[in-house]
């Protein structure tokens, strides 16, 4: 591990309904910083599945790019996910939001039969092979389950989503606010965050706990 833990944080757009959940992303970055780490944000340079008007909760006819939209959260300091190398970082982190299940994979549309963005899959496989921690918040454990298969994760307590994870070969563990599921064998840490009806403070608790567990696994 680096003297100052280095985290690669993968974003999937900007906004809960079509990209990264912003509270989860910001609280993750804050948790990293407050626990003595540093971070670099990444996103795949691809088009979004679609664009949602967040004021109306309805689809828009706009076309947006995942990397460009993610740069809003990262204040411009972002790199294409294809540039990610596990050797340069101590852990890989995926905040949630529908973008994780729409842009990083197609779980939101195809369930257990989903496909995975090639850059996201390569990042997960390479990090796992390097035996470095992977953190997944909210719905992002579905992405990890699709890629790694036999892994223990949590998305909270939603029975239908848990069943879909099990169908991909994963094992689901029920967790509540601020709690984590830690798969010691695969070095995967997950926390429910907004998969539960949560306050922003509870999101901060979950992100802090997940990052703390990742540091312990380094």
173 close to 183: Cβ distance less than 8 angstroms = no
> Distance from CA of residue 118 to its chain's centroid?
15
138 is catalytic: yes
**Residue 41 forms beta bridges with which residues?**
9, 78
Half-sphere exposure of 41 (CA within 13 A, CB side): 26
Q: Which of 105, 114, 138, 181 is catalytic?
A: 138
Residue with tokens 């909270």: 156
CA angle 49, 53, 57 (to 5 degrees): 100
Measured CA to CA, the distance from residue 104 to residue 101 in angstroms comes to: 6
Residues forming the active site: 138
């Amino acid at each position: 591990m680096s003297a100052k833990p280095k985290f690669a944080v993968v974003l999937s757009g900007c906004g809960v309904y079509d990209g990264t959940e912003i509270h989860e992303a910001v609280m993750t970055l804050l948790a990293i910083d407050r626990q003595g780490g540093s971070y670099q944000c990444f996103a795949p340079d691809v088009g979004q599945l679609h664009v949602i008007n967040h004021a109306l909760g309805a689809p828009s006819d706009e076309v947006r790019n995942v990397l460009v939209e993610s740069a809003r959260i990262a204040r411009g300091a972002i790199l294409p996910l294809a540039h990610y190398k596990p050797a340069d970082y101590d852990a890989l982190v995926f905040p949630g939001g529908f973008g994780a299940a729409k842009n990083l994979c197609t779980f939101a549309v195809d369930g257990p039969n989903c496909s995975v963005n090639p850059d996201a899959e390569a990042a997960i496989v390479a990090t796992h092979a390097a035996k470095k921690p992977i953190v997944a918040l909210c719905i992002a454990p579905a992405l990890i389950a699709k890629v790694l298969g036999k892994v223990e994760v949590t998305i909270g307590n939603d029975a239908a989503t848990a069943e879909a994870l099990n169908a991909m070969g994963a094992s689901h563990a029920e967790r509540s606010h601020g709690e984590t599921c830690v798969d010691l064998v695969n070095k995967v840490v997950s926390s429910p965050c907004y998969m539960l009806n949560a306050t922003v403070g509870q999101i901060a608790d979950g992100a802090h706990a997940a990052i703390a567990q990742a540091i312990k696994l380094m």
